[in-house]
Amino acid sequence: MRLHVLGSGAGGGFPQWNCNCRNCDGLRRGSLVATARTQSSICVSGDGTEWLLINASPDVLQQVRAFPALQPARKLRDTAIRAVLLMDAQVDHTTGLYMLRERSTPLDIWCTAPVREDLTTGNPIFRVLEHYCGVRWHELPLDQPFAIDGIEGLNFTALPLKSKAPPYSPHRNQPVPGDNVGLFMTDATSRRSVFYAPGLGEIEAHVWRAMQEADCVLVDGTFWTENEMQSAGVANKGALALGHLPQSGAGGMMEWLAKLPAATRKLLIHINNTNPILDERGPERAQLAAAGIEVACDGLDLEL
């Protein structure tokens, strides 16, 4: 299995276009040692030729240009993106679907029924795409293995997560299974596996089992502390209320990752622009390094 990180930032990317927090301002001025990030998305392949795009961020065109494998140029109009899998219906994970409209065949999109509902009613991307390439919807089953046509050698299992549906969802405050998922991916030949969950509000028992079983975990790194957004003066809600488990503090992501087997590769993704771990010379990044936890960056390649 080859996994490529297209984007590692949270919504808005880093630096965020209208933000002058310490991180964003520091990166622009050159006073902070940090790396710019586009919005969270990855792609995976079993053969290195055909790819599954997991989440279509608003930055998808920039991300495709930065990763030539997605444009193999075998004919006049071509793409190596065989299908798209959506982890949720959030704006920063779905807006890029508009940018993939110039196709001669419908987009094969895998997502749960609640996500399809949100993208047909609350934010009707699917309806808009019917005026262009169209959509061929495949229901994402929960808690059972499945395969995706054209993505050879990889098996997938989607796990329901406790997080948040988008603000335009009719069940924003009444979550249903399938609003958000984590994805367990296994290479059929090597049997090595990855657990991917960019939005993770709680480590439930079934999620913990998946994390323990995986050779690599690529999980929610949005916020360092519960009150990060309030402390930065940019929002009134805490991390958990926004559907993200903070890294530090009792019961935080670092505490959970420390319990994993020593051989497990541990990476954080979906990093918010306010998160101090973006400062590559800061004490928070040093704490992660000492704990054997990596911070994913755009362009990172993983082979399992």
- Asked if the model's pLDDT at residue 173 lies above 90, the reply is no
Phi-psi region of 48 (alpha: psi -120 to 50; beta: other; left: phi over 0): left
> Averaged over 64-83, what is the pLDDT?
96
Q: Give yes or no for a contact between 27 and 34, defined as CB atoms under 8 angstroms apart.
A: yes
pLDDT tens-digit map of 97-142: 999 999 989 999 999 999 999 999 999 999 999 999 999 999 999 9
Rounded to whole angstroms, the Cα distance separating 96 from 106 reads 15
High-pLDDT (> 70) share of the chain, %: 100
Residues 6+ apart with CB under 8 A from 128: 98
Residue 30: CA count within 13 A, CB half-sphere: 0
Q: Does domain 2-303 have CATH number 3.60.15.10?
A: yes
- Give whole-number Cα distances, 74 to 6, 49, 67, 79, in Å: 22, 11, 16, 8
pLDDT tens-digit map of 91-109: 999 999 999 999 989 999 9
* Residue 170's pLDDT band (cuts 50, 70, 90): confident
pLDDT tens-digit map of 262-277: 999 999 999 999 999 9
- Asked if the model's pLDDT at residue 14 lies above 80, the reply is yes
Q: What is the largest CA-CA distance in the chain?
A: 55
Q: Looking at residue 175, what is its pLDDT?
A: 86
Domain spans in the chain, listed from the N-terminal domain onward: 2-303
* Residue 83's pLDDT band (cuts 50, 70, 90): very high
Rounded to whole angstroms, the Cα distance separating 85 from 50 reads 14
**63: part of which helix (H) or strand (E)?**
helix 60-66
